[in-house]
């Protein structure tokens, strides 16, 4: 009976993906977002480290890998938008130093 209650709670919070062709599965991207959204404004770099773990599933067959990649890009966009109001913004998307020199953004450094 306790297992049923846990599954019901998870399903109402959209942490479980249900499909007729696949077994029920936890949504890693949803779990990670619920965790990092609490501190993304304070430490966006650390939040991105968690978001990068979603891309570990991109080698899944049958379109699941592509879906994981899209979910990770969505989380990256969310982190950038929430970091807009702080010093992490320049570090994430690049900017200019006080002496006028450009510096490369963290996202480009991690992508290469």
List the pLDDT tens digit at each of the 112 positions of the chain. Answer: 444 434 434 444 467 666 666 677 778 888 899 899 888 888 888 888 899 888 888 888 888 888 888 988 999 889 888 887 566 777 777 777 788 887 777 666 655 5
| Contact yes or no for 90/100 (Cβ under 8 A) | no
Q: Where are the domains of the chain?
A: 28-111
- The span from the CA of 64 to the CA of 86, in Å, is 34
pLDDT of residue 50: 92
pTM: 0.69
pLDDT of residue 110: 59
CA distances from 66 to 23, 57, 63, 72, 73 (A): 19, 9, 5, 10, 11
């Amino acid at each position: 009976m306790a297992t049923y209650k846990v599954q019901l709670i998870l399903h109402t919070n959209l942490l479980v993906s249900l499909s007729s062709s696949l077994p029920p599965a936890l949504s890693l991207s949803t779990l990670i977002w619920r965790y990092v959204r609490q501190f993304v404004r304070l430490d966006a770099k650390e939040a991105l480290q968690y978001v990068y773990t979603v891309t570990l599933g991109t080698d899944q067959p049958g379109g699941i890998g592509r879906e994981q990649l899209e979910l990770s890009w969505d989380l990256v966009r969310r982190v950038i938008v929430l970091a807009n109001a702080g010093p992490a913004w320049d570090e994430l998307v690049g900017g200019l130093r006080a002496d006028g020199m450009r510096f490369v953004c963290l996202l480009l450094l991690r992508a290469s």
